[in-house]
Amino acid sequence: MHTIDLRGRTHTSAELLALVPRAAVDVAVASEAAAALIDEVRTGGSEALLAQADRFDGGRPPALRVPASEIADAVSTLDPAVRRALEETIRRVRLASAAQVPPNTVTEIGPGARIRQRWQPIARVGLYVPGGKAVYPSSVVMNVVPAQVAGVTSIALVSPPQRDHGSHVHPVVLAAAGLLGIDEVYAMGGAGAIGALAYGVDDLGLEPVQLVTGPGNVYVAAAKRLIRGQAGIDAEAGPTDILVVADAAADARLVAADLISQAEHDELAAAVLVTDSTELADAVVAEVERQVALTTHRERVTAALTGGQSAVVLVDDLEAAAAFSNAFGPEHLEIQTTDAEAVLAGIQNAGAIFLGPHSPVSLGDYAAGSNHVLPTGGQARFAAGLNAATFLRSQQVVEYTEEGLADVAESIAALSATEALPAHGDAVVARFS
């Protein structure tokens, strides 16, 4: 991991933004390849999706649409311990997602003047579940549960076919879908699958969706950026990142383990330590070296940690640490300091925040009840993680009586005349003449 030394002076927000470490290959760089893959699917339909599966996933799935019997089989043959774990995760995510549904409200503006605010679910959504370097049954739960809690009634789920499973969707992904009552599942991955959801695939009977959500690699994130407008998207949840703010009191062994845990997702994953303690920085670097040598995906982890996106950042104090973190906009922010609440008070931008030594990111990835589909690449500076409200739209229902309208008729006339749009005022006058 390279070092960024910010000690000795304060930095403006613009300077911090310029210093933030990022991967050389980002969503913009992957965009051209993603656009070509989406175009192939728009013109070539199923045959293009099968060819892309052959090219990227090591084989053509026997059927793009997974038969209902295969989903049922996956549920019935699911390892009992994994089933219990999935069911507990579903329970917890459902509880936390229910708390994200905003209440419908009625505001009495004046006599006979009422604005109702209602939250309307999106009718049909497409959910992406990754499956390249790893498989993600947990992402089935993280996508489906908030959609169901929001009241979405039509859900299509896509996930890449797996070479090791005869080019079928991974059975635990199918089992997770089955446990949640999802029966529309397709064996397709990457940018082509995002295009298929957004534009539909006629010869497959895949109807276009109105919103595409879910995590994926840089090509998936690029594809989501490209189809935005045709369908809505959640945040771009691309290659994962973790930023740990730690002081001298933190346990270097745990900090290192958490950095490595996210680096194992992808060579493009980012792991950043920000600290005011050179002793802790040295200890974490030594621990990372020791633990990487023992970890399963050591090559991928090494690539991620030595990439330009990962770094150890030295700061004068924890206020400067929070300022750097805000500029980075981490997907996951861990605060491992003596007074975590004090650091939290200075944090504005983060996808999800993990406080103290017993709240590692792995907890949020699987079992906290929080959602693990989170904005990456600095998007947490303006975007939120996937949640029930992502699947809802607020709609204001305007309900005025004659008396209520009369009270504002003069204001409308004045403003419409000022804007040189007199027909607007006339439409109100017509109601009183």
Ligand X SMILES: N[C@H](CO)Cc1c[nH]c[nH+]1
Work out whether 220 is an interface residue with ligand NAD (CB under 6 A): yes
Is residue 128 a contact point for ligand X (CB under 6 A)?
no
With CA atoms as reference, report the closest residue to 270 among 234, 230, 245, 242: 242
In the bound state with ligand X, the residue whose beta carbon lies nearer, of 138 and 217, is 138
- Distance separating alpha carbons of residues 239 and 66, to the nearest angstrom: 27
Residue nearest to ligand X (CB): 365
* Binds 101: which of ligand X, Zn ion, ligand NAD, none (CB < 5-8 Å by kind): none
Is 9 or 358 the residue whose CB approaches Zn ion more closely? 358
Q: Is 419 annotated as a binding-site member?
A: yes
- How far is it, in rounded angstroms, from Cα 69 to Cα 159? 17
Torsion of CA 25, 27, 31, 37, to 10 degrees: 100
User: In this chain, which stretch among 37-45, 110-118, 133-141, 168-176 interacts with ligand X, using CB under 6 A?
Assistant: 133-141
Element (H or E) spanning 128, and its range? strand 124-128
Measured distance CA(289)–CA(119) in Å, rounded: 50
- Distance (Å, whole) CA 381 – CA 25: 20
| Annotated binding-site residue? 297 | no
Residues 91-110 that bind ligand NAD (CB under 6 A): none
Site for ligand NAD in 355-384 (CB under 6 A): 372-374, 376
Segment contacting ligand NAD by CB under 6 A, of 106-114, 174-182, 184-192, 294-302: 184-192
Q: Which of residues 106-165 bind ligand NAD (CB under 6 A)?
A: 130-134, 136, 139, 160
**365 marked among binding-site residues:** yes
Decide the pairing of beta strands 113-121 and 392-400: antiparallel
Give the whole-angstrom CA distance, residue 9 versus residue 319: 13
Contacts to ligand X from residues 341-400, by CB under 6 A: 365, 372, 374
Please state, in angstroms and rounded to a whole number, the distance separating the CA atoms of residues 418 and 410: 12
Which residues have C-beta within 8 Å of that of residue 294, sequence separation ≥ 6?
A: none
Q: How many CB atoms lie within 10 A of CB 257?
A: 16
Dihedral sign, CA of 165, 167, 168, 173?
Answer: positive
Q: Which is nearer to Zn ion, 186 or 354 (CB)?
A: 354
Q: How far apart are CA 355 and CA 351, in angstroms?
A: 13
240 assigned to a ligand binding site: yes
For 339, the 3-state DSSP assignment is coil
Minimal distance, residue 381 CB to ligand X, in Å: 17
Q: Of the residues 331, 358, 372, 402, which is catalytic?
A: 331
Q: Is 2 annotated as a binding residue?
A: no
- Of 167 and 262, CB closest to ligand X: 262
Q: Which residues bind Zn ion (CB under 5 A)?
A: 365
Give the residue, chosen from 240, 309, 387, 390, that forms a contact with ligand X under the rule CB under 6 A.
Answer: 240
The answer to whether 242 touches 259, Cβ cutoff 8 Å, is yes
If contact means CB under 5 to 8 A according to the sort of partner, which of Zn ion, ligand NAD, ligand X, none does residue 138 touch? ligand X
The residue annotated as part of the active site, out of 168, 170, 297, 332, is 332
**424 is annotated as contributing to ligand binding:** yes
- Enter the tokens of residue 246: 């730690």
Q: Helix, strand, coil proportions of the chain in percent (round to 5)?
A: 50, 20, 35
- Nearer residue to ligand X within complex by CB, 200 or 351: 351
Residue facing ligand NAD at closest CB distance = 190
Q: Which window, 105-113, 183-191, 253-261, 313-321, contacts ligand NAD (CB under 6 A)?
A: 183-191
Is 309 annotated as belonging to a binding site?
no
Is there a catalytic annotation at residue 332?
yes
Give the rounded distance of the alpha carbon of 174 from its chain centre: 21
Cross-strand partners of 201: 206
Q: Which of 237, 273, 312, 327 binds ligand NAD (CB under 6 A)?
A: 237
The residue within the footprint of ligand X, chosen from 136, 186, 219, 324 (CB under 6 A), is 136
Nearest partner of 177 among 269, 101, 66, 327, judged by Cα: 66
Q: How far is CA 142 from CA 91, 130, 289, 348, 351, in A?
A: 11, 12, 32, 24, 14
Q: Which residues bind ligand X (CB under 6 A)?
A: 136, 138-139, 240, 262, 365, 372, 374
Q: Which residues participate in the annotated binding site?
A: 240, 262, 265, 332, 365, 419, 424
Q: Which residues participate in the annotated binding site for Zn(2+)?
A: 262, 265, 365, 424
Q: Which residues bind ligand NAD (CB under 6 A)?
A: 33, 52, 56-57, 130-134, 136, 139, 160, 189-191, 215-217, 219-220, 237-240, 265-266, 269, 331, 372-374, 376
Q: Which residues participate in the annotated binding site for substrate?
A: 240, 262, 265, 332, 365, 419, 424
**Catalytic positions:** 331-332
